[in-house]
């Protein structure tokens, strides 16, 4: 572990008194004011005071309401994790780290903080990056301009890679916040992108937009690109993600039959929408439901057609799924469950006008949105020597390397181990997990050794209600704590061995973040920990117990 450098005191402000040291108990988090514009998170742990920025760098959640672990704090909303010593981001979503503050206690017992002057103007910090050195002839390539690739290229520079660095992106846009496109369809690229063009130029990251990978030759260590270029690499990270799947339904190629995966998809949908548009969403997936929620106030009608009895049954179970269905119906979305579309009917102009359901009834439709799953973008790896599973995923080690040396794989296409109860590798398409993979791959590509210790964390916002979910695994029972009707509850998913494999919540932050932190510490939660109806959250005290000796 590298030694922590003591910052030059000249770069810091004069000390500011923020509170009395006696105001903080052990393992307490407190938000204090440094000045009228700057909030600070002050934490006392192991008798020591530490101070970092008060807001999560992802969407600005107040970290004093988050989950405190051993030496780190986890965001209450979406699970991003920050080191209290350095402020560095360790788990995602997000890109940036927190500013840090020097802490002293005066002879009068007052907590005195110094802020780095360069951090005062902003609530987030980009970790230091090395410059490219012309004498470093190595070339690292990152294939995929999604969240995983975006994190990877930045982490490579942060971890000391000084060679040539290329980001190959099939889309024509710089990496952007993809999770927003199905929730708020009217955002443009300037509102969505992580960084601007100048950022990548400043850090000598070549970005090839509108360029895909057509072939990987691992014997020659060459990437063949769709623009005709062939580039030699020393190491390569592949995070090419998914493409939307169109089921083989008659009429599926008619105009105004859309999928949602990329920014251009939502632009196309918005262009087709008027106040008279009758929208049908096929599939009760998160993406289809988010699209329905985003559009219902803008169009004449929205109908969701789903295969299961209730939406999100596989993820949340029948009880919660029924409450989700009610939420949509309360917001004027028609739910046609235990059904499907057997035919898409068009007019003479090739535009959809109706869809026929499984019971042979027909409903009018001017715009059909398909939320019918996805296929993994790994076709270009055929004959590369990289082993591909039947579903298109790639098995990776705990360091995200494939069966071929110097070929790393992450994000949606990776079949990887996770922290918790899953002994086998799993293929999970979560945004947070994709970003985490990008960081871990970059660290290992640079020669350090960093093992995967990921806890899947999913989140969505539907009609103003924030749904959180952390964990993974089968379950036989869902134990609800709180009120489903009021959408203020915690759901514990319990398996055959009476172990909690996952936790979901609405309106009960930071409980899911606390469960995620617990699992990341190598601890587990059992039925016995949540049986006390009077205090089901007593288990959260386990977060501050000593870490297991064997991890």
Residue positions counted in the chain: 551
SS3 readout for 31-44: EEEEECCEEEEEEE
Helix-helix angle 313-330:286-295, to 10 degrees: 10
Architecture of domain 257-372: 3-Layer(bba) Sandwich (3.50)
Beta-carbon contacts of residue 87 (< 8 Å; ≥ 6 apart): 52, 53, 97, 98, 99, 100, 125
Find all residues with CB under 8 Å of 104, minimum gap 6, and list them: 15, 111, 112, 114
* Cis geometry, peptide bond prior to residue 93 (ω within 30 degrees of 0): yes
Q: What is the pLDDT of residue 5?
A: 47
CATH topology of domain 457-542: Enolase-like; domain 1 (3.30.390)
What predicted TM-score, i.e. pTM, was given to this entire model?
Answer: 0.94
Give, in degrees to the nearest 5, the angle at Cα 157 between 153 and 163: 95
Contact call for residues 48 and 522 (beta carbons, < 8 A): no
- What are the structure tokens assigned to 131, written together? 């410059």
Burial class (CB in 10 A: 0-12, 13-18, 19+), 149: buried
497, burial (CB in 10 Å: exposed 0-12, middle 13-18, buried 19+) = exposed
CA dihedral 192, 197, 201, 204 (to 10 degrees): 40
pLDDT in tens, the chain (551 residues): 444 444 444 588 999 999 999 999 999 999 999 998 999 999 999 999 999 999 999 999 999 999 999 999 999 999 999 999 999 999 999 999 999 999 999 999 999 999 998 888 788 999 999 999 999 999 999 999 999 999 999 999 999 999 999 999 999 999 999 989 988 888 899 999 999 999 999 999 999 999 999 999 999 999 999 999 999 999 999 999 999 999 999 999 999 999 999 999 999 999 999 999 999 999 998 999 999 999 999 999 999 999 999 999 999 999 999 999 999 999 999 999 999 999 999 999 999 999 999 999 999 999 999 999 999 999 999 999 999 999 999 999 999 999 999 999 999 999 999 987 667 899 999 999 999 999 999 999 999 999 999 899 999 999 999 999 999 999 999 999 999 999 999 999 999 999 999 999 999 999 999 999 999 999 999 999 999 988 999 999 999 888 766 54
- Could you tell me the residue ranges of all domains in the chain? 9-121, 139-243+376-446, 257-372, 457-542
In 391-530, alpha helices (H): 431-445, 511-520
Q: What pLDDT sits at residue 423?
A: 77
Q: Write the DSSP symbol of residue 486.
A: T
Under CATH, what is the fold of the domain 9-121? Rieske Iron-sulfur Protein (2.102.10)
Task: State the Cα–Cα distance between residues 72 and 67, nearest whole angstrom.
Answer: 9
The CATH code of domain 139-243+376-446 reads 3.50.50.60
CA distance 269 to 330: 24
Comparing 139-243+376-446 with 257-372, is the CATH topology the same? yes
Q: CA-CA distance, 356 to 378, in Å (whole number)?
A: 34
Number of helices and strands in the chain (H, E):
8, 35
Q: What is the pLDDT of residue 3?
A: 44
Radius of gyration in angstroms for the set of CA atoms belonging to the chain, rounded to a whole number: 25
CA separation for the pair 305, 303 (Å, rounded): 6
| Nearest to 231, CA basis, from 250, 215, 210 | 215
Tokens, residue 367: 């715009």
Instruction: State the DSSP H helix or E strand holding residue 314, giving kind and residue range, or none if neither.
Output: helix 313-330
Q: Which two tokens stand for residue 51?
A: 């101070």
Q: What contacts 297, CB < 8 A, 6 or more positions away?
A: none
């Amino acid at each position: 572990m590298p030694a922590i450098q003591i910052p030059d005191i000249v770069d810091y402000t004069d000390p500011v008194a923020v509170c009395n040291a006696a105001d903080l108990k052990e393992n307490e988090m407190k938000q204090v004011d440094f000045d009228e514009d700057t909030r600070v998170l002050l934490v006392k742990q192991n008798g020591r005071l530490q101070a970092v920025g008060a807001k999560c760098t992802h969407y600005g959640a107040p970290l004093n309401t988050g989950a405190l672990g051993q030496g780190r704090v986890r965001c209450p909303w979406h699970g991003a994790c920050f080191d209290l010593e350095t402020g560095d981001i360790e788990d995602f979503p997000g890109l940036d780290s927190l500013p840090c503050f020097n802490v002293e206690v005066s002879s009068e017992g007052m907590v005195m903080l110094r802020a780095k002057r360069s951090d005062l103007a902003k609530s987030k910090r980009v970790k230091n990056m090395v410059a490219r050195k012309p004498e470093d002839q190595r070339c690292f390539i990152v294939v995929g301009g999604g969240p995983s690739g975006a994190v990877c290229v930045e982490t490579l520079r942060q971890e000391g890679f000084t060679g040539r660095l290329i980001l190959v992106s099939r889309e024509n846009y710089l990496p952007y916040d993809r999770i927003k496109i199905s929730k708020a369809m009217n955002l443009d690229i300037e509102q969505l992108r992580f960084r601007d063009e100048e950022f990548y130029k400043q850090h000598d990251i070549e970005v090839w937009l509108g360029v895909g990978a057509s072939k990987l030759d691992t014997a020659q260590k060459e990437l063949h690109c769709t623009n005709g270029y062939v580039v030699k690499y020393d190491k390569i990270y592949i995070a090419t993600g998914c493409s939307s799947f169109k089921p083989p339904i008659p009429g599926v190629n008619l105009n105004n039959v859309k999928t949602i995966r990329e920014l251009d998809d939502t632009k196309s949908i918005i262009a087709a929408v008027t106040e008279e548009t009758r929208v049908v969403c096929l599939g009760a997936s998160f993406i289809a439901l988010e699209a329905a929620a985003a559009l219902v106030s803008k169009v004449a009608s929205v109908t969701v057609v789903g295969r299961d009895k209730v939406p999100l049954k596989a993820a949340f179970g029948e009880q919660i799924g029924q409450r989700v269905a009610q939420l949509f119906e309360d917001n004027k979305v028609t739910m046609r469950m235990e059904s499907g579309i057997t035919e898409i009917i068009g007019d003479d102009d090739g535009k959809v006008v109706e869809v026929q359901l499984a019971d042979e009834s027909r409903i009018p439709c001017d715009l059909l949105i398909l939320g019918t799953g996805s296929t993994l973008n790994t076709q270009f790896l055929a004959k590369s020597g990289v082993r591909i599973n039947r579903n298109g995923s790639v098995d990776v080690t705990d360091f995200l390397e494939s069966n071929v040396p110097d070929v790393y794989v992450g994000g949606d296409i990776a079949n990887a181990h996770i922290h918790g109860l899953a002994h086998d590798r799993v293929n999970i398409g979560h945004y947070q997990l994709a970003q985490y993979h990008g960081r871990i791959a970059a660290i290992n590509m640079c020669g350090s050794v960093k093992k995967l210790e990921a806890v899947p964390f999913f989140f969505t916002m539907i009609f103003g209600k924030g749904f959180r979910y952390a964990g993974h695994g089968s379950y036989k029972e869902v134990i609800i704590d709180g009120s489903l009707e009021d959408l203020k509850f915690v759901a514990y998913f319990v398996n055959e061995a009476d172990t909690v494999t996952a936790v979901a919540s609405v309106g009960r932050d930071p409980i899911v973040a606390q469960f995620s932190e617990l699992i990341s510490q190598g601890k587990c939660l059992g039925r016995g920990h949540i049986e006390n109806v009077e205090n089901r959250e007593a288990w959260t005290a386990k977060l501050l117990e000593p870490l297991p000796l064997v991890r």
